[in-house]
Chain A
Amino acid sequence: MAHSAGLFLVDRIMLVTIHEDINDSDIVELQDQLAVKVHAKGARGIVIDISALDIVDTFVGRIIAQLAGIGSILDAPTFVVGMRPAVAMTLVELGMTLPDVRTARSLGHALAQLRDSPTIG
């Protein structure tokens, strides 16, 4: 996975960072590690930070959807942060929907929502 993605546990929340050069072979490893860590650490939620990405295409969209799918199976709500409005608009026109994913304006907003939610944690 090298530097194309990162996984950090912050306050029982899994923070996933995705970089521009992520590729097919990284995804499987990222999914594996995420599932194991969310389960082992009892993470309350997942926050995917895509602020390092210039764009989101169907390839990255699929990665986000798959990570969120793992989150929903393991009862860890998934937030995406760092998506610029122009990127979000483009994603809609591309025809991608991310049903299991909520977006938050910033990492701080996502963490606050995960903390405040009575159904979470």
Chain B
Amino acid sequence: MPWHSCAILQPLDDPWPPASAVLFHRQPILTESDVVLGRQAVGRAMAEVGAREVRRIRLVTAVSEIFRNALRYGGGGEAVIFLDRVTKAVLVECRDNGPGIEDTALAMRDGYTSGKGLGMGLGGAQRLTDAFELHSRPNEGTRVRMMSRA
């Protein structure tokens, strides 16, 4: 779908997923337990490419923010986790078919929340990853792609 609004802070290389990446896990994000399962899978993927604890925790924290957003604002979605043994990286896509984000640049700003959150999730997730792209289209949904190297 043509995206209405996007905030690309550290762009990903084309194509998605990279040619050398393999599918590691698909996780529906429909409940709070799914958020936990999804981030545990991301932790395992990081271990698989040999990431040290601090690298693993950074990506797991980032995806936790994004998965919670998909659940809370997007009405649920799906996460797809890839790992790339060539570049020693983990790539995560999370998408939902929720209301979308009208102004992604505003949503990325620290402190901006439309709910009762802290408004730190998107900005924090971007700081904790090596590549981060947020795409959204009002009334159709939101897609976040992230990449972290081991």
Task: Give chain A's interface residues, CB within 8 Å of chain B.
Answer: 20-21, 23-24, 54-59, 61-62, 84, 86-87, 89-90, 93-96
Indicate if B12 sits at the interface (CB-CB under 8 A).
Answer: no
Show 29 A/B contacts (Cβ-Cβ < 8 Å), sorted by A.
A21-B32, A54-B39, A54-B40, A54-B43, A55-B39, A55-B60, A55-B64, A56-B61, A57-B61, A58-B65, A58-B117, A58-B121, A58-B124, A59-B68, A62-B117, A84-B57, A86-B54, A87-B57, A89-B54, A90-B54, A90-B58, A93-B58, A94-B65, A94-B124, A94-B127, A95-B110, A95-B123, A96-B118, A96-B124
Q: In the docked arrangement, what's the CA distance between A56 and B62, Å?
A: 10
Q: Are A21 and B128 in contact (CB under 8 A)?
A: no
- Asked if residues A61 and B32 are in contact (CB atoms below 8 Å), the reply is no
CB closest residue in chain B, given A59? B68
- Check B36 for interface membership: any CB of A closer than 8 A: yes
Least CB distance from A87 to B in Å reads 6
Task: Kindly state whether residue B7 has any CB partner on chain A within 8 Å.
Answer: no
Chain A residues lying within 8 Å of B40, measured Cβ to Cβ, are: 54
Smallest CB separation, A3 vs chain B (Å):
12
Residues of chain B contacted by A89 (CB below 8 angstroms): 54
A59: chain B residues at CB < 8 Å are: 64, 68
Contact-residue bracket for chain B:
20 to 34
Q: Does B20 contact A (CB under 8 A)?
A: no
Given contacts A54-B43, A59-B68, contact A90 B118 (CB under 8 A): no
- The answer on a CB contact under 8 Å between A86 and B33 is no
Which secondary structure characterizes the binding site on chain B?
helix
Closest A-B pairs by Cβ, 6 of them: A94-B124, A86-B54, A57-B64, A23-B32, A95-B120, A55-B61
Q: Within the assembled complex, what's the spacing in Å between the Cα atoms of A55 and B60?
A: 7
The reply to whether A94 and B120 contact each other, CB–CB distance below 8 Å, is yes
A110 CB, min distance to chain B CBs, angstroms: 22
Question: How close is B42's CB to chain A, nearest CB, in angstroms?
Answer: 10
B53 on the A face (CB < 8 A): yes
**Distance to closest chain A CB from B27 (angstroms):** 15
Which residues on A sit within 8 Å (CB–CB) of B120?
A: 58, 94-96
**What CA separation (Å) do A62 and B115 show in the bound complex?**
13
CB of B10, distance to nearest CB on chain A (Å): 14
Instruction: Give which listed residue, A20, A21, A24, A90, contacts B61 with CB less than 8 A.
Output: A90
List residues of chain A with CB within 8 A of the CB of B54. Answer: 86, 89-90
**Alpha-carbon separation in the docked complex, A55 to B36 (Å):** 10
